[in-house]
Amino acid sequence: MRFTKPSWVSHKGRTPMHARAPIAAALLTPSPDANQKRVSIFSIHVHPDGSRLATGGLDAKVRIWSTLPILRSEAEDSPKSLCTLGMHSGPVLTVRWSHSGKWLASGSDDTIIMIWDLDPTGGGKVWGSDETNIEGWKALRRLPGHESDVTDLAWSPGDRYLASVGLDSRVIVWCGYSLNLLRRLDLHQGFVKGVCWDPVGQFLATQSDDKSVKIWRTDDWGVEATITKPFEDSPGSTFFRRLSWSPDGAHITASNAMNNNGYVFVAAVISRQTWASDISLVGHENTVEVAAYNPHIFLRRPKDPITTSNICSVVALGSDDLTVSVWQTKSARPLIVAKDVFERAILDLGWSFDGLTLYACSSDGTIGVFDFDQEEMEGIAPRSAQVEYLKMFNFTPAPMPTPLLERVSQARTPPPSPPHFSSSTPVSLAAPPTYPPQSVTVAKNGKRRIKPLFISHLSYGPLPSASAAPSAAPPLFGSISMFAPNEDHHHAELDMTVPITALNGGGDDRKAEKRKAEEDEAGSSWPGRPTKARTLGGDRVRESVNQVKELRSRVSAVGFPPAPNHPSTAIAIDIPSIKSYLCSALEEKDGDLFEARNPEVGEDPTEVMFISAKQTQFLDYLPAAAILLTCTSVFCAVAMEDASIIVYSLNGRRIMPTLMLDAPSAYLEGSKHFLMTITSSARVYVWNIKSQKAAFPSVHLDPFIRAPSSILSAQIRPNGAPLILLSSGVAYSFDPALSTWVRISEARWSEGSDAWEGKHRTNKNSSSRGVISTLESALSDLNMDSDSAANVIKYRWWNAALTLGHLETKLHAAKVLDSPTEYRAALLSYAKKIAEEGFKGKAEELLKDLCGPLYWKPSKDEQVWCPTVLGLQKRDLLKEVSSIFAKSKTLAKLGQGWQDTLRKAALDEF
């Protein structure tokens, strides 16, 4: 066995935000000025032909690598990185190749699943970086459906189904052919962190933080069994609970199991016959995160026939103890134990299709490769032996719907994957393409004009014929296409919300179609009027996005130089780069997009358009390049390079005058009818679009963002409150009633507060978590590498002071951010802590504030007491608080007295 750790396989990106708290993806916007470093790799999977390796990491990228320089030292100089895919907006937690090898599925904590397809005409230089894509992979389909992080994916045998699981506690089954959503399974009561298919196709298995493994039937999607015994004492703090089904269909090996009342970390082996776990793989010193079976069955006695008694399997385990172990089920001891090969937890494992290579990835940002010799894998059986053996289960899957069968049989064949290679077959990958020089001219106004150079079919030669089917694909799957029968391939409109297609030679044709459509539209409106209702730009052919290009690099705040077009304004925050294409999705309605297209060359204007139900609702031309977009159910807004903002209704009306700012925008966020921008000069503006008024006068962030502190995220709440998180571990909001910035939360509370919610992931559904809880998760993990908490001197009243201070701050924060649920929870926790400590003075003040006056009316000069807070009745809260005090030892008399007072008040005895 040979072990290698290719250092060039890595993901490099920003300081971890989403991995610090996966649910923080809904709250935090990545900062443009974070540090570049090696970041965690969450998932790894090898292509069925063994030629490629896919990884997903904290940098929100899917990366595809060549395995040739990994497995063969003489190929060290061959291309290594084949392609980088960047459509996800959050860390990529799982990547899985289909069994045919034609599609790659990826899941992210942005809640989206992406399906990628090989683009024979793709590849080439990646704009804005020094990378070159040897291969081109395009986004074939975007699958929204989860409400939180997508933690694991699995393709069923024959790619009939794709199963996905996530932190919304859901299991979703998608059609593996049409990629439509088939079924949602909602019976788990905690985060679902692992999924695998029965190789027979009869069952689906999922593992959750509710400390159970559920077995689902594929004929009616009911629950066949729920296994809980080996997981009753398992911790809930692991990133994943990845389980695996043995290739003979006889067992499931599940991670994160415990023996001896939680004192022994094991992997549980669940029998298919009884759905019981009587066997455990013991030896790891910390939680097992992932289990992965070798795809081949093994024979105990290679010369004997293939029978149930002569079959065994090989399974690999990855653990938080930094160890990888490989077991053969015929032995009570592991085949190998690789210790200290990683510096942090192992998060995913993947076997090559030939069963001789094991790939592992770790949160330390590295991968490890275990390459076995044929002799070391004694008894390995050919793939055909497994196929024959599985026939003994006599399971026949339900027939496909007739319309789908017709569509599959008549559709075009997608381009095939590159050919299979083995250790004995030399393989050569295309060298990075070279480009001839481009023509550069200088206009009268001093602007440089670069004449675009058309490049077609780089490094790939002619396109494959439509009848060429990939050798690795089953006959049925080999003829599947996303195009309907009898549609022309180049003009078919795909049923997906991310319009990405391959680079081809039709660029000039598409421009001609665009001009012709615009001319036809102009001609139809003159001299008469349109004969039917229409939308501005709705008749124009919409162009697909081939590649997003960086037209101008971001302007850095280092040294505080003057802002472009604003020489008197210093830059405190980086100005975003100008890209050829920008897009903002409407969260309330899937598929609705607000787009901007900046021209690459020439005098063409910048275009913005709003797309709903694949129909252009409006189109407009801008006087300057667009740098930021946002849209809500009320409005769309675009920030431009000239420091202006235009606000549209969803039908394209300019519902506010063009807003002129002191500097270009660095952040642009919208929520309901509120719009917020932070300019590069660090000034914050918030407007109520409905009332067309400023929520408060613009305020400056300068005191907070001086080096080394910087903005990590910016958000606007539905009530118009800005929420800004800094790298110093403090979150701020502006309170118009106080006319000042207020601290919403800070990481220092985690050093001693018992009420701090961000120390670990909880089993609570992420969709029901409040803004403050989500923020605390991000703050806690932002400070997770710091040793400050361990070095704090614990004074006598340290714990009580920090807990009470934290809860009092949280009560004020809930009011500023309009979070009534979190206000009530913090109030009750605050009352319990006061009762626990016996602080009578604080208890009396709290009770009086909630009760208010009983029998007198205030004069005009006195402040009027408000009976509600955030829509909650204060005296209803008083009942709950007084009940808590009445049950305590030190404050029982006080609590009972106030309960009597409330009863008298209800009977009008005052």
**What value, to the nearest 5°, has the Cα angle with vertex 703 and ends 701 and 706?**
95
The enclosing domain of 674 has a CATH number of 2.130.10.10
For the ranges 476-490, 542-556, 693-707, the lowest mean pLDDT is seen at: 476-490
pTM over 0.75: no
pLDDT-derived band at 640 (thresholds 50, 70, 90) equals: very high
List the beta strands (DSSP E) in 662-812: 665-671, 674-679, 683-688, 693-694, 699-700, 711-716, 722-726, 730-735, 740-746
193 and 322 belong to one structural domain: yes
pLDDT-derived band at 477 (thresholds 50, 70, 90) equals: very low
For the ranges 222-231, 403-412, 606-615, the lowest mean pLDDT is seen at: 403-412
| pLDDT higher at 106 or 25 | 106
743 and 715 belong to one structural domain: no
Is the confidence at residue 667, as pLDDT, over 60? yes
| pLDDT higher at 214 or 795 | 214
**Alpha-carbon separation of residue 878 from 411, 881, 895 (angstroms):** 67, 5, 10
Q: How many residues does the chain have?
A: 910
198 and 277 belong to one structural domain: yes
Residue at 793 is within a domain: no
Residue at 684 is within a domain: yes
> How is residue 600 annotated by DSSP?
S
Q: How far apart are CA 835 and CA 846, in angstroms?
A: 12
Residue at 871 is within a domain: yes
Domain finish residue from 328, 361, 392 = 392
Q: How far apart are CA 654 and CA 632, in angstroms?
A: 15
Residue at 449 is within a domain: no
Predicted confidence (pLDDT) per residue in 335-382, tens digit = 899 998 899 999 999 999 999 999 999 999 999 999 999 888 888 998
Predicted confidence (pLDDT) per residue in 98-146, tens digit = 999 999 999 999 999 999 998 887 777 766 667 788 888 989 999 999 9
99 and 153 belong to one structural domain: yes
Predicted confidence (pLDDT) per residue in 717-728, tens digit = 999 999 999 888
Instruction: Give the pLDDT confidence score for residue 232 in this predicted structure.
Output: 86
756 and 657 belong to one structural domain: no
- Give the helix, strand, coil percentages of the chain, each rounded to 5: 20, 30, 50
Domain finish residue from 377, 392, 407 = 392
Q: What are phi and psi of 735, to 5 degrees?
A: -105, 105
Q: What is the dihedral of CA 536, 540, 541, 544, to 10 degrees?
A: -40
228 and 340 belong to one structural domain: yes
Instruction: Give the pLDDT confidence score for residue 357 in this predicted structure.
Output: 95
Q: How far apart are CA 41 and CA 95, in angstroms?
A: 11
Predicted confidence (pLDDT) per residue in 673-702, tens digit = 999 999 998 999 999 999 999 999 999 987
Instruction: Give the pLDDT confidence score for residue 573 in this predicted structure.
Output: 86
What DSSP letter does each residue of 62-124 carry, written as one string?
Answer: EEEEESHHHH-GGGTTS--EEEEE---SS-EEEEEE-TTSSEEEEEETTSEEEEEEE-TT--E
Q: What percent of the chain has pLDDT over 90?
A: 46
Residue at 471 is within a domain: no
Instruction: Assign 149 to helix, strand or coil.
Output: coil
At 849, the amino acid letter reads D
595: left (phi over 0), alpha (psi -120 to 50) or beta: beta
Residue at 497 is within a domain: no
Average pLDDT over residues 788-810: 78
Question: What is the biggest distance separating any 2 CA atoms in the chain, rounded to whole angstroms?
Answer: 100
CA 257, 259, 263, 266 dihedral sign is negative
829 and 804 belong to one structural domain: yes
**Alpha-carbon separation of residue 60 from 33, 41, 603 (angstroms):** 16, 10, 34
Tokens standing for residue 165 = 């699981």
Evaluate whether 106 touches 56 at the Cβ level (below 8 Å).
yes
Residue at 512 is within a domain: no
253 and 346 belong to one structural domain: yes
Predicted confidence (pLDDT) per residue in 381-402, tens digit = 988 888 989 988 888 887 766 5
Is the confidence at residue 462, as pLDDT, over 80? no
Tokens standing for residue 578 = 């100008």
Predicted confidence (pLDDT) per residue in 716-758, tens digit = 999 999 999 988 889 999 999 999 999 999 988 888 888 887 6
pLDDT-derived band at 489 (thresholds 50, 70, 90) equals: very low
Radius of gyration of the chain (CA): 30
Is the confidence at residue 791, as pLDDT, over 80? no
647 and 753 belong to one structural domain: no
Average pLDDT over residues 546-557: 79
326 and 259 belong to one structural domain: yes
Tokens standing for residue 385 = 């032996």
Domain around 744: 729-762+770-781+798-833
335 and 370 belong to one structural domain: yes
Domain finish residue from 346, 369, 392 = 392
Contacts made by residues 645-648, CB under 8 angstroms, sequence distance 24+: 645/675, 645/677, 646/620, 646/622, 647/675, 647/689, 648/608, 648/610, 648/618, 648/620
> How is residue 500 annotated by DSSP?
B
Q: What are phi and psi of 387, to 5 degrees?
A: -60, -45
Average pLDDT over residues 561-565: 46
**Alpha-carbon separation of residue 91 from 22, 61, 255, 506, 570 (angstroms):** 8, 7, 23, 34, 33
Task: Please count the structural domains in the chain.
Answer: 4
Closest CA to 136 of 428, 351, 433: 433
Residue at 526 is within a domain: no
Average pLDDT over residues 887-904: 89
738 and 688 belong to one structural domain: no
Is the confidence at residue 816, as pLDDT, over 80? yes
